[in-house]
Amino acid sequence: MSNRIKLKGTGIVPDVAIGKAVILEDKTKIFIPYYNILKEHIDDEVNRFLKALEQTKKQIEDAKDNLNSDLESDHLSIFDTHLLILRDQSLIQKTIQIIKERFLNAEYAFKEVIKELIAKFKGMEDEYFKQRREDLEDIATRVIANLVDKDLNKSLDFEEDTILVAKVIHPSDLSILYNDKVVGIATDYGGVTTHTSIIAKALNIPTVVGLHNATKVIVDGDIVIVDGIEGEVIVKPQESEKNIYLEKHQKRIHFQKQLLEIAKYPSITLDGEKIELLANVEIAEEFPALKKYNAEGVGLYRSEFIFLQSAPDLPTEEEHYNFYKKLCSQVKGEVVIRTLDLGGEKFFHEVLEKDEQNPVLGLRAVRFCLRRKDIFRTQLRAILRVSGENENIKVMFPLISGVDELKEVVGFFEEVMEELKNEGIKINETIQKGIMIEVPSAAEIPDLLAKYVDFFSIGTNDLIQYCLAIDRNNDKVNYLYQPSHPAVIRIVDRTIKAARKAGIDVSMCGEMAGNPKFTALLLGMGLRKFSMTPASIPVVKSVLRNVKISDCEQLLERVLNMESASQIEKHIIAVNHKLIPDYEKLARIKL
Ligand code: PEP
Ligand code: MG
């Protein structure tokens, strides 16, 4: 067929899916796009908003006219109320102000204004106020639907074998992915460590990100192949092509079965070194995978997902407590709860005070928690309460950049411990505390930081981004996001060695830990504990069961003398091929 199109992006989940495209913005009620607009487009954006208001007014007037003859006049007053809301100048001006001052898109700006108004009516039991709240919600949905050009009467249900196509899927839109009808994902933006990618991996949905213009090229209902192995999306494939891809998918299923067998084997190198393989967890849907892939524990629980899922409300202490308790019951080994790491890509507008010019370098993670100690306290109390019942739980603080900051965090943690003890609540007073090493400044002073904590976990996703000055979510520069860069190799090597010298536990929980390409190299550095998306465990295990530590150390020695990412990459791959019989197949799992 002549209109077949092939798009190139980055493969995330190495599997193939064939299905019908659904352009996300058009079909789901919950998807309210969030993006910044350029200064020169502000007037256009304001006009777009005003146009949507007019369109909504017209729709309401039409509906009123249509029903005029059938309804009692007091029933028709609902339309008048809605029209009044649409003419409310303070509502209109506030929205315009947000668009102008915060460079935000109209849908999001309007949603913020409505939300603020609704919050004022919250808790008022009076029927009148309840009704006004509902009116506001109704109007907001209509205006936003017009802004995103969505027909509200269209079915929101996905059909079988849906391929979601979107500019971006924010972690806070996660709920749309919990749907067994969604078999594949294709997005314009994003990279390997984007959180949508991490979730797609956790849910094992074939995904290609960073396609640049998928939402422009693909239209609703197009047949699409998502090839997460090659990082390609084929729009309107030929009939014969479909069979080739179905075969590819079958092969993948067969290989997965083999890997599941490997998951049962001991995690031990050829020369008898025991290696711990733990899991990264984001959502409860991943719990079955912990057993399936034989995770020895949870090396990273990204607790921000509790917040994203309870949005717009904050999770309560009980909600934290119940989730952590359940998580601890899923594995025999340790469970590391990383405290809230919101900000950066993981926006949570209901909590974050303001949008920032440069959020990745802004009020993120512990910086935010130290500002909002009320939120931090709630989470720490829950972790400590679980520690009294389960000794395996550990706490980990993200984005630590120096000793003063760490002392402040640890000081606050101890304060909360005292608080619980005074309340007579049982806690584990020797609960292990650790930090993520993901800011270059922290990686430069591991000896100093090690005095205050029991363990380090190296977060390569952020460490690479901050070390190389490459936004981990920007597909325009992600060719420079290089885990094999000599600076990254050296910084990781030094951190592992310094932690071992200081006698504290060290693991790695960034995506590099689950990439079989780096397993031998990391073993050569002395890493003995890896945490990764559960499905990667057997792949990494296959590699480590085929190598000797002495070979890995030799590999590292050579690599440390190399000058570029490309040289290092080439060498690692050649050595992996030599050492590991099945490496060709494993390398296809480009995690
Ligand atoms: C990391 O930065 O490597 C990490 C594991 O944390 P996150 O991806 O959640 O930022
Ligand atoms: Mg991080």
547 CA to centre of ligand 2 in angstroms: 29
Q: In terms of domains, do 18 and 63 share one? A: no
**Number of domains, the chain:** 2
Could you give the CA distance from residue 252 to residue 537 in angstroms, rounded to a whole number?
A: 16
Look at residue 509 and give its three-state secondary structure.
coil
Q: Which two tokens stand for residue 538?
A: 């057997």
Read off the pTM.
0.75
Sheet of strand 162-166: strand arrangement: 5-8, 232-235, 223-227, 16-23, 162-166, 182-187, 207-209, 10-13
> What are the strands, taking DSSP E only, across 286-442?
298-302, 335-338, 393-397, 433-437
Hunting for tokens 């977060």 — which residue is that?
A: 459
Q: Dihedrals φ, ψ of 251, to 5°?
A: -60, -40
Is residue 116 a part of any domain in this protein? yes
Q: In terms of domains, do 17 and 68 share one? A: no
460 C-beta closer than 6 A to ligand 1: yes
345 C-beta closer than 6 A to ligand 1: no
Q: Which residues contact 54 (CB under 8 A, 6 or more apart)?
A: none
Is residue 418 a part of any domain in this protein? no
280 CA to centre of ligand 1 in angstroms: 10
pLDDT given at position 139: 80
Could you give the CA distance from residue 461 to residue 504 in angstroms, rounded to a whole number?
A: 22
Q: In terms of domains, do 252 and 184 share one? A: yes
Q: Burial-class residue 43 by CB neighbours within 10 Å (0-12, 13-18, 19+).
A: exposed
pLDDT given at position 346: 60
Query: Domain containing 184: what range?
Result: 5-27+154-257
Q: Which atom of ligand 1 is nearest to the CA of 438?
A: 2
Q: DSSP letters of 177-211? A: G--TTEEEEEESS--TTSHHHHHHHHHT--EEE--
28 C-beta closer than 6 A to ligand 1: no
Which conformational region is residue 283 in: left (phi greater than 0), alpha (psi within -120 to 50 degrees), or beta? beta
Per-residue pLDDT tens, the chain, 591 aa: give them.
Answer: 458 999 999 999 889 999 999 887 643 444 677 788 888 889 999 999 999 999 988 878 876 776 555 444 555 666 777 788 889 998 999 999 999 999 998 988 998 898 888 887 766 666 666 667 767 877 887 888 888 776 544 444 688 999 999 888 766 555 566 678 899 999 998 888 777 788 788 888 999 999 999 999 999 899 999 999 899 999 999 999 999 999 989 988 888 888 888 889 999 999 999 999 999 999 888 899 999 999 999 999 999 888 877 766 789 999 999 999 999 999 999 999 999 998 765 656 555 655 677 888 988 899 999 999 999 999 999 999 999 999 999 999 999 999 999 999 999 999 999 999 999 999 999 999 999 999 999 999 999 999 999 999 999 999 999 999 998 878 788 889 999 999 999 999 999 999 999 999 999 999 999 999 999 999 999 999 999 999 999 999 999 999 999 999 999 999 999 999 999 999 999 999 999 887 877 666 543
Q: In terms of domains, do 169 and 123 share one? A: no
Q: In terms of domains, do 135 and 170 share one? A: no
pLDDT given at position 126: 65
Is residue 142 a part of any domain in this protein? yes
Q: In terms of domains, do 18 and 166 share one? A: yes
Could you give the CA distance from residue 152 to residue 137 in angstroms, rounded to a whole number?
A: 14
Q: In terms of domains, do 55 and 124 share one? A: yes
Q: Which atom of ligand 1 is nearest to the CA of 509?
A: 5
370 CA to centre of ligand 2 in angstroms: 17
The answer to whether the beta carbons of residues 303 and 339 sit under 8 Å apart is yes
Eight-class DSSP state of 104: B
Residue 233 vs residues 4, 185, 227: alpha-carbon distances, Å: 11, 10, 6
The answer to whether the beta carbons of residues 228 and 252 sit under 8 Å apart is no
Closest residue CA from atom 8 of ligand 1 = 461
Q: In terms of domains, do 18 and 163 share one? A: yes
344 CA to centre of ligand 1 in angstroms: 11
- Domain CATH number, residue 139: 1.10.274.10
171 C-beta closer than 6 A to ligand 1: no
Helix H or strand E segment including 522? helix 516-525
Q: Which of 257, 286, 310 lies at the terminal end of a domain, its last residue?
A: 257
- Domain CATH number, residue 177: 3.50.30.10
Q: Which residues contact 113 (CB under 8 A, 6 or more apart)?
A: 91, 94, 95, 98
Could you give the CA distance from residue 302 to residue 127 in angstroms, rounded to a whole number?
A: 41
Hunting for tokens 């984005």 — which residue is that?
A: 399
Neighbours of ion ligand 2 (CB under 5 A): 438, 459, 462
Is residue 78 a part of any domain in this protein? yes
Is residue 222 a part of any domain in this protein? yes
Q: Which atom of ligand 1 is nearest to the CA of 465?
A: 2
Q: In terms of domains, do 109 and 195 share one? A: no
Could you give the CA distance from residue 449 to residue 494 in angstroms, rounded to a whole number?
A: 14
pLDDT given at position 37: 84
Which-ligand-closest: CA of 338? 1
Q: Which of 114, 147, 180 lies at the terminal end of a domain, its last residue?
A: 147
166-218 tens-digit pLDDT: 888 766 555 566 678 899 999 998 888 777 788 788 888 999 999 999 999 99
Q: In terms of domains, do 163 and 252 share one? A: yes
Is residue 197 a part of any domain in this protein? yes
Cα 428 off chain centre by: 30
pLDDT given at position 590: 44
Q: Which of 234, 257, 280 lies at the terminal end of a domain, its last residue?
A: 257
Helix H or strand E segment including 468? helix 460-468
Q: Which two tokens stand for residue 231?
A: 């990082």
Residues listed for the chain: 591
Could you give the CA distance from residue 27 to residue 473 in angstroms, rounded to a whole number?
A: 25
Q: DSSP letters of 356-375? A: -SSGGGSS-HHHHHHH-HHH
Name the nearest CA neighbour of 9 among 159, 168, 158, 160: 168
List the catalytic residues.
Answer: 195, 509
Cα 438 off chain centre by: 16
